[in-house]
Every structure is written in C-alpha cells, then in structure tokens.
Structure 1
Amino acid sequence: MSDPSAGDPGALAARLAALPDEQLLAVLIVVTAGRENLAPLYETATRLVSETGQSGPGQPVIPGTRQPAGYGASPGVGGSAQVGGGTGGLSGLVSGSGNGVGGYAGNGVPTFDAVRDKVERRIGTAHGGRELDRTSPAGRGADQQWEAREQAARERLEQIRTSLHEGEGS
C-alpha cells in the first residue's frame, strides 16, 4: 500500500518533524549517504550520532543484535549506500578485488570472488551429499530398488507389445 502523503512535501515534513531526534538522525544518515551534494549534512548527522552515543551506521539497526564475523565494512570505511555510508554501486562486486574484509568490498557489496566461492562451496556440498547417499547402504538399496522397478517396467512393456502383435496375426 502506498502512503497518500508520499507526494506531499508538507505532510512528509510534518511526519519527519514528529520523529524523536535519534530517529530523525538515522533517517538523515540513510537518505544522505552517497550523495555528494549532501555530504556535509551526512557527516554532521553521523558526527551527532557518534557524539550522543546513539546507534549509527557502524552499529546494528536493532540495538543488541550481534553481527556475524566479517559482516559489513571494515572500520573507517563507509557501508553501503542503502544502510549509511559509502557510494554504493556494483564496483566492488564487478571488480572482484575488494579491499574490504570477509569477502565484502569497502562499500559493503560482496565481491565477485566471494559470491563465486560461496556458490562453488554449495555445489560441492550438494554433489558430495549425493555421492555419500549413493555409497551408503540405504542409497545402494534405493538404487537396487530403482533398477528392479525399471526391469519390471521393461518386462511389462515387452509383454504388452507381444500381446498386441499376437492380435494382429489372427
């Protein structure tokens, strides 16, 4: 559903004015990230957040939420444009070099190499699981059952063909 006041700047300004300071700063950080002309506003908002000890771009969105190791950008480097900081774009993903930590470029985008490695690991795990299934006693039993059904189906098909040909000869 769309907000009826989305196109009305006055209504949007009124909604923003009703926000508590910490929420308004968070909104300002998100909407000004990666916009060159608004860089001073972004820097001021991030400075105010850090001075007041409120959660900022380097901290989880929900206070107390633990981030996995290697997640996000390294200290001193902005995050993605979507979540506060950095320039955004696909440069880190396309280049594959990525100066970030844990498979992420400095702007928070996963590197091509990291994505490819993750896909290859998942494919390898799937193939390995299939091989283990086939070499286990249960897997061998399932293969034998499949072969027995296939053989029975071939024999039944041959019986049907033979009975059809017998009817033609009379």
Structure 2
Amino acid sequence: MVSPIRSFIEADALFNQNGTSLNLVRGFPGKGIKVWGCRTLDNLPGSPWRYIQTRRLVSYIEAHITRLGRAFIFEPNNAITWMKLKGQTYNWLHQLWLKGGLSGTQEERAFDILLGVNESMSEADLRAGKMIMKIKLALLIPAEFIELNLTFDARTGITGLN
C-alpha cells in the first residue's frame, strides 16, 4: 500500500506555491489513480501555453504541416510552389476547423496562412533558399492567434520552427 506524501488537510498549501500550476496525482473511487489537471508550468496570465492540450495540438499541427512542406523542399521556390503548399495546408486546417479543432465561426477567425515574399519572407530569405510559412491559429478564443513560423530550407533539406 502506498501512503500519500501529504495529507488531505495539507493539500491546500500545495496550490499556487510560487505561482506555478500543479497537476495532482489523485485516487478517484471507481476510476483509479489519475493525473488531475491539465496545466503547464507557464502560469502567465493570458498565455496560450497554460494548457497541455494547447501545446499538444500545436505540436500536432507543426508536425503535420512540416510533413506536407517536405514534399516541396526541392521544388522551385516560387509563387506556384507557394500556392500548392498553401492550398494543401489550407485544406488540412479547414478540415481541422470543421472538426472543432480551431476556434471561430468563420475560417478567417480560426486560421490564416501567410506564404510569399513580403508576406512571410524577404528577398534575402528567397536568395538563401528558404521558404518560410507563417500560420496563425485561433485555439482558445476566435481571432486571438498563436503564430507559427515554419522554415523549409532547400539548401540543407532541413525543416524547422523559428
């Protein structure tokens, strides 16, 4: 048998120590032992990264769009390639929005994709062989966006976040 580290009476003192969030491990009758909570250690007011679900969804979106972009790494870095990648990304984000993964009653309040010179990259980025995509996502509140910057580098074949 495992005994608790703190008694129930002392548990109130654990909340908001040093201003951080805690996800307690608790036993629930009939359900077993569960992690109770969903917050990260980022406890800044208004921070989109306060919740584990937000981080997990953004990581999933980054991974999927990075996979989409890898197909275009060795394509010419021009408007046609940007339109193809932007279209595939749009279709995927649109489906995610329809399934309820993004907030907003209209697409433009749920996500936005920027890809092109003077939108997401400069002429210097273009000459350096970089294709940079900026994606704005409304995860918690419509029209309040988390911005992702994905870079696809044709010279090295490496993709990554900025």
How does the TM-score come out when normalised to structure 1? 0.24
The structure that is strand-richer by fraction is 2
How does the TM-score come out when normalised to structure 2? 0.25
Q: Rg larger in 1 or in 2? A: 1
Relative contact order higher in (CA < 8 Å, ≥ 6 apart):
2
